[in-house]
Structure formats: structure tokens, C-alpha cells
Chains A and B, each alone.
Chain A
Amino acid sequence: MANTTMTPGVAAGRLAAEVLQQNFGDLHPPLGRHEAQVAADRCYFCHDAPCMTACPTTIDIPLFIRQIATGTPDAAAKTILSQNILGGMCARVCPTETLCEEVCVREIAEGAPVEIGRLQRFATDTLMAKDVHPFMRAAATGKRVAVVGAGPAGLACAHRLAMHGHDVVIFEKREKPGGLNEYGIASYKTVNGYAQAEVDWLLMIGGIEIRYGTALGSDVTLDALAAEHDAVFLGVGLSGANAIDGFDKANVGPAVDFIAALRQSPDLSQLPVGRNVVVIGGGMTAVDAAVQSKLLGAENVTMVYRRGKDRMSASVYEQDLAASKGVRIVYNAQPVAVHGNGSVAEVEFEYTADGTGTGETFRIPADQVHVAIGQGLDGAPGALELTGSKLALSDGHRTSHPKVWAGGDCALGGEDLTVTAVAEGRDAAEDIHHSLMG
């Protein structure tokens, strides 16, 4: 192999194929039956459990863990999936350390929470391995609903609508479903094509058609969708990054594009990565891009975040994961310029105090820059009302258009997490259902 971590510039094949395979294996290996039993035994079956309250989809965690402990993982899976149809993915990608596991009473008591995420994966994997779908459709209602975006919000919405007997058409601009589950999350969190397998399993409910390569705006308009359907749910993603001087240089791009390319790459040894990589941002996407750059063989990966460690939206666990993989995290600095002759060579930063520039600058060598800040909605479809850069919502996840609901990253709501998107899609579906059925 010609290339190494020291090869200058942006190059593919910095690491041997077997090293890459190991690097991109399952971050948290699945629990075996015995491990699951031991882990489940630790649950105290709390009253009005804090974990359940902390879960954006309000999964009955004590119940599903008790179902695992008593040898009925399929029943456990149904408990999970009835609240969160993407419970399998959430078990893999949820920042449980800031949600259910953070408030587990055994975290409080012993600093070691019940392994809720891994137990959830055990249950959902057990059920899905049987290739059965535990939910049935209600009698057909004759209502047709358009869902825009086959990401977590759209899929959750579509599934719940289908369960209620409505016919659903999902309009997806890409060629595959899953949204960020497929394109935007670190590979080691969802190995072996899980995102696609999960969507295939979800679609077993029936009554959901997906039209790929159909983008809102260019291929279909909101007005047309609203005219042709009884209701519309918008579950589109975000795009773009705030312009900074030099962001148009070669090898500078959105972190989500880098992750998408990585996730879709059939051979990681063909995927180029810089020797010196700079990631700008402090969220989960930034961590995913930084860690994966390192795992691909970048020599130096620096994540730069404009505020302090305590403000970072990536959890402490994620920050520690990045550090353990050799990512250097610089806090309190914001990009001011990208330097280089055609391609990026350096990124110039300014130190900040509480988010405001101090005037003092420094430069970090960079062959490749992943920008993970400033994602926004690419224009409000159909003149819907916005709050800031997101769709404004009223109760029931309704937009300003009477036939249009929204959820997920495009809409104002909770954190931009898969699990939050699922909750919003599901709840919007319930509201659509009640609205359509009177």
C-alpha cells in the first residue's frame, strides 16, 4: 500500500483494509442472551420511571426490560416499537448518556446505569431477526396522506398513519430511504446496512409507497401535494452551511456530505481523507465526522467549537469517544477564514469568549475541512411560517397551512435527534388521524 497516515494532502487508502474493517465495526457490540439477562436484572422497575420520562418517545423502559428479564424479548420489542417504530435505530444512535441512562436511578446510586440502549437493541434485534412485523393496519379509511422525506420523522409518521388505515405516499429526494439514519450518522453506530433493513421491516406494515428521486420544490410542490392529498407531513432535512470566507475552496464541505459519502462508499479504502482534517462544529455530526476521519487514517483531526465544553451539544460521552480516538478538540474558537491556493491549506480561527470573538487568531493546517455548523432549512416551502430558520408549529405539529403538518429537523421542536424526529412524526400522525377522522 502506497499511502499512510503521513501521506500529504487528501488521499485514499491510508490504512490497511483489515484495519478499516476493525475501525468501522460495531461501536457497541450487541448483547448476548446471557449479557442481556444480567443487564436486565439490574433494572429496579421504578415507579413513573425517570428513564421513561427522559425518553422523547416515552418508551415504557421498565416494562420492556422486565419482559426481557422474564424471557419474552419479542414482547419487549413490541413495547418499544409501539412508542418508537425506529426503536432499533434509536437503540444504536441515541445519546442515551444524556437521555434515559443519564437519569437511571442506578446511575445516581452507583454511577452505572442500566444499559437501556443495549437492552433495547437486544429486544428489537431479536424480533427483527424473525422478520415479523408486530403491528396490523386498521381498516382502510380511504384517506391519502403525503409525507415528504423518508427520514426518521417521515417514516415514523408514515408508519403510524398506515397503522390507522390511511394510504401514505412518501416523497424522498434521494435514491434510498432513511434520511440521516442512512446518510448522516457515523458508520460504526449502525453497521451491516441496518438503516435499510429497518426501513424494509417498517414497510412490512403495508400501505406505504415511497417515490424516490422526488424533491420538494423542484419535482413536486407543496401546493400540489396539498391539493392531491388529504394531508401533508413535512419531514425534510436541513442543508447548507453559513458562508465563511473561503468555504468555497476545494476539500471544504459540509460534514454531512462527507458522512453521506462514507456511508455510501462500497469500499472505504477508496475514500479519500486529509492528512490534516479540521472539523468545525460541536454537535453529534461534528463528532461523527471527526472520529470517522481519524478512523479512515487522518494523521491529525481537530474539532473546533466556538463555545466552551459545557455548551457543546455533543455529549460528554461523545466528546470522550472523540478524544479516545485521537481527535483533538479546541473549544472557544470560531472560523474567520479559509486559506489556500485553490485547495484549503489552513483554517484561521479567532478565539472567543462566550461566543464572541476576542480578536486573537490562530491557524490550523488543513487538507480537508468538514463544516458541521449552521445547517438550515433550504427556504420555507409553500410560504409556510418560520420561527428562526425552522418551520413554526402550533399544537399537534401543525404548520401555518391547514393541511400541512411537520416534524423532525426542519421544524421547531426538541433537539435534532433521531428519537426526537420519531416522536414528532408519530405525534403529527396522531393529530393528522384525528383531524381526518373527525
Chain B
Amino acid sequence: MANLQSEFVGIKSPNPFWLASAPPTDKEYNVRRAFEAGWGGVVWKTLGEAGPPVVNVNGPRYGAIWGADRRLLGLNNIELITDRPLEVNLREIKAVKRDYPDRAVVVSIMVPCEEAAWKAILPLVEETGADGIELNFGCPHGMSERGMGSAVGQVPEYIEMVARWCKTNTRMPVIVKLTPNITDIRFPARAAKAGGADAVSLINTISSITGVNLDSMSPEPMIDGKGSHGGYCGPAVKPIALNMVAEIARDAETRGLPISGIGGVTTWRDAAEFLALGAGNVQVCTAAMTYGFKIVQEMISGLSEWMDEKGHASVADVVGRAVPNVTDWQYLNLNYVTKARIDQDACIQCGRCYAACEDTSHQAIAMSDARVFTVKDDECVACNLCVNVCPVEDCITMVELDAGALDERTGKPVQPEYANWTTHPNNPASREAAE
């Protein structure tokens, strides 16, 4: 059986599944139960500075969007950092770490952007025996209005500055949690690295309004007739997170910087995808908040089975395997030609592929009177929309044409050699280069 043992910036855990800094990790009771359920580690919900704790709203804190059968696809929150006293959290962290020495306990911190504030809290956290700290530069709501959270994460200079303060003032590994509410994730990642951070974790939540209450004409979640943007997470944000993780993993300046992948991890497969794109481990929140702690059992068994099947002996073997295959559009092979193929035995004749292609794409699917759907190779550009809208898995697939085969759409044989946009005759830059 594959070894799921994980080591991330020197922090060991029995598996790469950590619970992210969020409500599930707000207190000892939850974290103990999470560890009993099998989670490899936790990032304790963000601590603020000593003194009166923050307060939360007393109405709804979450909004959501759902798919069919009310499956939760996206969750949004307007909750702030922990609203429990600092000393209570510290005491509980210490107790939990003492009782679960093999699990990772990382503490998320958010204090004002002043060195004194960080200097004050770091020794207190260190004293708990925690394995590391995560700097919350990501929360897009509430705390950002007070100059913390994403207000820091959106300014690379601040990231670098605070990371450096922390590295200077603690022996603990420093993970910088990044906000996705920026234009290019590479800049904050580079800043974290420049500040000496041991790793980055991402993504934090995305600024969002999940819906509008059409009776009260207020955003959801609604607080007394008003709403504020919240932070969006869950399965819906996974594609955004995967891209950002990959961008950092393949950036020349940040290549090799450890990444803790966060964003919509719901199954072992999601986790494996983050690992493949360069994450050293993953953090999970929404899936646990939706289904409870037990889901980690599926993540452990699923990742393990898949690794065995593929012959990956350790988590480290998986990390970054897909990164070399992430490239820029201009380098994609324009001589790679595929066509949609419909498995008539699997087809249930719903006609969604036809409607999608006929109404919105390339009119490349024919429908017979007997509801047999077939691909018109002379029209099919292989856009994949039919695959995406088909309700039956693997019923429609994109099949590569062999070199030399006729592409009926272009009337030309498929060329065997790799050729991309940079050398394409329609590319003005390419023509210039040729002159």
C-alpha cells in the first residue's frame, strides 16, 4: 500500500490531508474529533492579537449555491477570524498538540501590519508546541476593511515585509496564505518567497455575492436587509485554485517553493490533482463542512488505491508530476486533431449534445429520425462541448486522428510534426521573424 506519510516544510503528518483554517478548526473539541476521524493535520482557525476578540454577525454567516439535488457547489462566508479569546485558543492548541504529536498543528495568525504586533504573538504560539504558522493574508471580508487579511495579500510589498518579520521572530516554519483576489498570483507568491517564507498556501476565498434575495432585494447572506460580499469556496472554486497553484509551481522565480493546495478539495481525486500540479499537501474545509469529518477516510483510501495502481510509492512521488505539462496557449500543438465520437451503446438519446452543438457551436452533430446522434467529421472542430454536456460519462469522447489521416473539416491530412502558434503562418509575429 502506498505511503501517504507527508512532510511539508519539515512538518510531518500521517497523510497530506489537512483541515484548513476555518470553522472546523476553531476549537479543541472539533480538532480532536477531526484527528480521531483521521485527518493528517489542521491549520487552527486564525488567531488575532490579545485583547477583546473580534465579534461576528448574529445573523447568517454563510451563503451557498447548489447543483442538482441541492448538492452544495459553492459556499460563501462572512465570518471573521476566531472570536474566542487568544489565551483559550493557545491553551487548547497546546493540549491538542501534546495529545496528537504525530499530527500537524499549524496556527493561522492575523494581526495588524506592525512588527510589534507579530513580535507579540509569535512567542505565544511557539510556546504551544505548534508545528508552524500560516499568515492569513487572504480573508477578503471584514478584516480587510481593517487593513488585514486580503488588504495585506493584495500588496506584495506588505507580504514580503510581514513574512520577513515572522521569519526573523520565530523558529517555526512560515506559510503565507494567499488571496486569489488579485490579477496575477505570481507576484504575491514571489513576494512571499522574497520575504523568506517557507511556503505559500492557496487559495483563500474569493470575494463573492452568492445570490440576491428577490423579496428583500438584498444580497445573500442577508443581515437585517443588507448584505456584504463574502469569501467564496467549495467545489466551484477548484478550477481557479488549480490554475493559481500551477502558475506558482511553474513560475521561474517561485519554482520549488512548497505549496499547500486549497480550494474545493472534495474527494481524493481533487487532492491528487492539486498534488500533481505542485501542491505538497492539501487543505480542506468546505467538503468537511458539508459532509463532516468522515470524508477523509475516502480521501485516504482513494489516494492510496490510485497511487498503488499507478505505482507511486509516496506522496512526494506525485507532487508536481503534471507541472511540466502546463504550458502557454501559444505552445499547444496545432497539429493535434481530434474528433468527437459517440458510443451508441452508451447513448441514452437525450439529444443534449445535439442541442448544444446545433444551437451554440458548430452544427457538427446529426440527429436521425430515430434519435441516433452522430458526429459530422467535416464540421467537428473538437470543441468538447458535447462531451461536457452529455449526462453519461464516457459516452462521448474525443478521439485523436492518426498522422496522415484526413481531417474532413480542413480537407488536409493530419501532419505528424508538432507545430504551434509561434510558427504558424497566420501569426504576424511569426511572419516577421521569417522575413
* A109 and B348 form a contact (CB under 8 A): yes
From 25 to 73 in chain B, residues with beta carbon under 8 angstroms from any chain A beta carbon are 68-70
For the complex, give the distance between the alpha carbons of A348 and B69 in Å: 55
Residues of B within 8 A of A108 (CB): 348-349
Candidates A38, A45, A105; contact of B348 at CB < 8 Å: A105
Residues of A within 8 A of B68 (CB): 41-42
Residues of B within 8 A of A41 (CB): 68-70
Known: A37-B70, A109-B392. A48 touches B348 (CB 8 A): no
- The distance from the CB of A19 to the nearest CB of chain B, in whole angstroms, is 38
Chain A CB within 8 A of B367 CB:
yes
- The distance from the CB of B48 to the nearest CB of chain A, in whole angstroms, is 41
Closest B residue, CB atoms, query A53: B371
Chain A CB within 8 A of B289 CB:
no
Residues of B within 8 A of A37 (CB): 70
- The distance from the CB of A102 to the nearest CB of chain B, in whole angstroms, is 13
- The distance from the CB of A14 to the nearest CB of chain B, in whole angstroms, is 45
* B354 and A47 form a contact (CB under 8 A): yes
Interface centre among B348, B350, B351, B355 (most CB of A within 10 A): B350
Interface centre among A38, A108, A109 (most CB of B within 10 A): A109
Known: A50-B371, A109-B392. A44 touches B69 (CB 8 A): no
Residues of B within 8 A of A38 (CB): 69-70
- The distance from the CB of B349 to the nearest CB of chain A, in whole angstroms, is 6
* A105 and B349 form a contact (CB under 8 A): yes
- Bits for B362-406, please: 1 = Cβ < 8 Å to A, else 0: 000001000100000000000000000001100000000000000
For the complex, give the distance between the alpha carbons of A49 and B367 in Å: 12
- Of the four ranges (under 10, 10 to 19, 20 to 34, 35 or more), the interface on chain A belongs to 10 to 19
* A46 and B351 form a contact (CB under 8 A): yes
Candidates A44, A47, A48, A50; contact of B391 at CB < 8 Å: A44
Closest A residue, CB atoms, query B354: A47
For the complex, give the distance between the alpha carbons of A49 and B350 in Å: 7
Known: A37-B70, A41-B69, A109-B392. A46 touches B367 (CB 8 A): no
Chain B CB within 8 A of A106 CB:
yes
From 44 to 89 in chain A, residues with beta carbon under 8 angstroms from any chain B beta carbon are 44-50
Candidates A42, A48, A106; contact of B351 at CB < 8 Å: A48
Residues of B within 8 A of A49 (CB): 351
Contacts across chains A and B counted by CB atoms under 8 Å: 36
Known: A105-B350, A108-B348. A47 touches B355 (CB 8 A): yes
For the complex, give the distance between the alpha carbons of A109 and B69 in Å: 18
For the complex, give the distance between the alpha carbons of A106 and B69 in Å: 15
For the complex, give the distance between the alpha carbons of A38 and B69 in Å: 6
For the complex, give the distance between the alpha carbons of A353 and B293 in Å: 65
Residues of A within 8 A of B354 (CB): 47
- The distance from the CB of A405 to the nearest CB of chain B, in whole angstroms, is 31
Chain A CB within 8 A of B229 CB:
no
Residues of A within 8 A of B69 (CB): 38, 41
For the complex, give the distance between the alpha carbons of A109 and B345 in Å: 11
* B350 and A46 form a contact (CB under 8 A): yes
For the complex, give the distance between the alpha carbons of A108 and B367 in Å: 18
* B70 and A47 form a contact (CB under 8 A): no
- The distance from the CB of A306 to the nearest CB of chain B, in whole angstroms, is 34
Chain A CB within 8 A of B352 CB:
yes
- The distance from the CB of A38 to the nearest CB of chain B, in whole angstroms, is 6
Closest B residue, CB atoms, query A110: B348
Residues of A within 8 A of B371 (CB): 48, 50
Residues of B within 8 A of A45 (CB): 352
For the complex, give the distance between the alpha carbons of A123 and B309 in Å: 50
Known: A41-B68, A41-B69. A47 touches B392 (CB 8 A): no
Residues of A within 8 A of B355 (CB): 47
Known: A50-B371, A109-B392. A44 touches B350 (CB 8 A): yes
Interface centre among A38, A47, A49 (most CB of B within 10 A): A47
- Bits for A145-179, please: 1 = Cβ < 8 Å to B, else 0: 00000000000000000000000000000000000
- The distance from the CB of B344 to the nearest CB of chain A, in whole angstroms, is 13
- The distance from the CB of B67 to the nearest CB of chain A, in whole angstroms, is 9
For the complex, give the distance between the alpha carbons of A108 and B352 in Å: 15
Closest B residue, CB atoms, query A41: B68
Residues of B within 8 A of A46 (CB): 349-352
Residues of B within 8 A of A48 (CB): 351, 367, 371
For the complex, give the distance between the alpha carbons of A65 and B69 in Å: 14
* B348 and A47 form a contact (CB under 8 A): no
- The distance from the CB of B185 to the nearest CB of chain A, in whole angstroms, is 35
For the complex, give the distance between the alpha carbons of A361 and B68 in Å: 58
From 67 to 91 in chain B, residues with beta carbon under 8 angstroms from any chain A beta carbon are 68-70
From 286 to 324 in chain A, residues with beta carbon under 8 angstroms from any chain B beta carbon are none
For the complex, give the distance between the alpha carbons of A206 and B71 in Å: 45
For the complex, give the distance between the alpha carbons of A105 and B349 in Å: 7
- The distance from the CB of A381 to the nearest CB of chain B, in whole angstroms, is 40
- The distance from the CB of A107 to the nearest CB of chain B, in whole angstroms, is 9
Residues of A within 8 A of B391 (CB): 44, 109
Closest A residue, CB atoms, query B351: A47
- The distance from the CB of A427 to the nearest CB of chain B, in whole angstroms, is 23
Closest A residue, CB atoms, query B390: A44
Residues of A within 8 A of B351 (CB): 46-49
Residues of A within 8 A of B70 (CB): 37-38, 41
For the complex, give the distance between the alpha carbons of A105 and B346 in Å: 12
From 12 to 50 in chain A, residues with beta carbon under 8 angstroms from any chain B beta carbon are 37-38, 41-42, 44-50
For the complex, give the distance between the alpha carbons of A37 and B71 in Å: 12
- Bits for A84-126, please: 1 = Cβ < 8 Å to B, else 0: 0000000000000000000001101100000000000000000
Residues of B within 8 A of A50 (CB): 349, 371
Residues of B within 8 A of A47 (CB): 350-352, 354-355, 367
- The distance from the CB of B374 to the nearest CB of chain A, in whole angstroms, is 14
Residues of B within 8 A of A109 (CB): 348, 391-392
Closest A residue, CB atoms, query B67: A41
- The distance from the CB of A101 to the nearest CB of chain B, in whole angstroms, is 14
- The distance from the CB of A55 to the nearest CB of chain B, in whole angstroms, is 16
Residues of B within 8 A of A105 (CB): 348-350
Closest B residue, CB atoms, query A40: B68
Between-chain CB contacts (< 8 Å), 5 pairs: A38-B69, A46-B351, A47-B367, A49-B351, A50-B371
List the 4 closest pairs (A to B, CB-CB), nearest first.
A47-B351, A47-B355, A41-B68, A109-B348
Known: A46-B351, A50-B371, A108-B348. 12 other contacts (CB 8 A): A38-B70, A44-B350, A44-B352, A46-B349, A46-B352, A47-B352, A47-B354, A47-B355, A47-B367, A48-B367, A105-B349, A106-B348
